[in-house]
Structure 1
């Protein structure tokens, strides 16, 4: 069976302007290659500045790679075909509060992707909005709420609903649990795992939280300063890390667990 997503030698070079009196800094993402199957979760881990979020932006089309190619179901994704990407690869951001427009209702937030990307009638869009709210554990009545009327956990559920509403094949989540308190975080993790089982989604999860990574991921990509230093099955990475960098990350996680 062919993979859902194939990333082949994708690289990226970005010049970061640091201000008038500082020299520009060049960030280089070295060629990245991996595959993702339907119903599988791949976690991308590494310290800040390792290139995790840049890779996420390349996958969803927010940035264009310098070289390489990305294939979905064997078909090469074209960067000038925004609709192709919007329908199939969706993103959940870390700060759901900032990604939700405070001036419009949740129903309007969820309706906008449908209006822009589908031929559904207003009645069909309304039905889809209510169906998606139920899917993430919200009520149809929540479509009339505004952002400030929700808890942090509910805001993240709406962010997930917005990602799901176009029936994508892949969800890319960049630190989706970092801003949540532990109890809400646990509920949201369980929700995402249930949605993945029920919908057969491919899931790419970017995180510093190795506890959650170990709990939900099938495979791991370890990044350092724009390079993939190691990749493999989750259990293998945690139990038999090959690189010193990966070993340091795992030992730091285990030390934190022993303190708690």
Structure 2
């Protein structure tokens, strides 16, 4: 069975050299390989500076890898055909405000990718927008709202709608819950899990929150300083970590959630 998404030895090198002097902004993401199946969630875990957000950008085409290839349903994704990637791999960002234009309505925010990537008529685009809003728990009247008129939870639902509007196969979410309060975070997590089950999406979740990682992911990939530490089923990694680094991460999480005596 062909994997939905295959990452084959994808790496990235950011050169920060100037006349032989190594600068602080140099970074190397060592070659990484993994597969993602339809309906599966893979968590990418690591501390700040581990390269997890960079890996997400490589997947959606926001950055170009210096080595390796990415395949979608067995077809190689070419860096010269960004439209194919834009249609099939969509991203949700941590801070929804930064990805939502404050000067246009919700309808315009959602219509823009449809205009750029589909042949839908104006009427068909409106129907698609209403359907997508309803899918993420918003109502038709939200089409006429501006960003500042929405709550934090509604903005994150809009960011999810923006990711879903083109009917992608894979969603890459970079710390999508970090800015939400606990109650809204729980509602959003449950919504994403529900939609994944209904739509069969492949979901890549980038986070350092091990509680959420354990709750929603099937497998986890651990990064440290641009290096792949280990990858495996989430419960196996939590219960039987192979590396000392992963063990420390798990113990740190457990110390936070375990009741104090």
For the superposition of Structure 1 and Structure 2, which TM-score range results when normalised by the shorter chain? over 0.9
Alpha carbons 1:15, 1:24 under 8 Å: kept: no
Q: What SS is found at the alignment partner of 2:102?
A: coil
CA distance in 1 between partners of 2:28 and 2:189 (Å): 32
Whether 1:245 and 2:256 are equivalent positions in the alignment is no
Alignment match, 2:150: 150
CA distance in 1 between partners of 2:136 and 2:16 (Å): 38
Alpha carbons 1:230, 1:242 under 8 Å: kept: yes
Alpha carbons 2:46, 2:222 under 8 Å: kept: yes
Alignment match, 1:52: 52
* Pairs within 5 Å for 1:133-212: 133-212=133-212
Q: How many Å apart are 1:17 and its aligned residue?
A: 8.4
Alpha carbons 2:16, 2:22 under 8 Å: kept: no
Q: Deviations over 1:197-225 (max 9, x none)?
A: 00000000001111110000000000000
CA distance in 1 between partners of 2:96 and 2:84 (Å): 24
CA distance in 1 between partners of 2:25 and 2:53 (Å): 17
Alignment match, 1:100: 100
Q: How many Å apart are 1:99 and its aligned residue?
A: 1.1
Q: Deviations over 1:54-113 (max 9, x none)?
A: 000000000000010000000000011110011000000000012110000000000000
Q: Deviations over 1:107-161 (max 9, x none)?
A: 0000000000000000000000000000000001100000000000000000000
Gaps of 5+ in 2: none
Q: What SS is found at the alignment partner of 1:25?
A: coil
CA distance in 2 between partners of 1:100 and 1:179 (Å): 15
Alignment match, 1:232: 232
CA distance in 1 between partners of 2:121 and 2:23 (Å): 53
Alignment match, 1:129: 129
CA distance in 1 between partners of 2:8 and 2:250 (Å): 27
Q: Judging changes above 3 Å, is the alpha-carbon distance between structure 1 residues 240 and 24 closer, same or farther for their aligned structure 2 residues?
A: closer
RMSD: 1.5
Q: TM-score, normalising length from structure 2? A: 0.96
CA distance in 2 between partners of 1:148 and 1:228 (Å): 40
Q: TM-score, normalising length from structure 1? A: 0.97
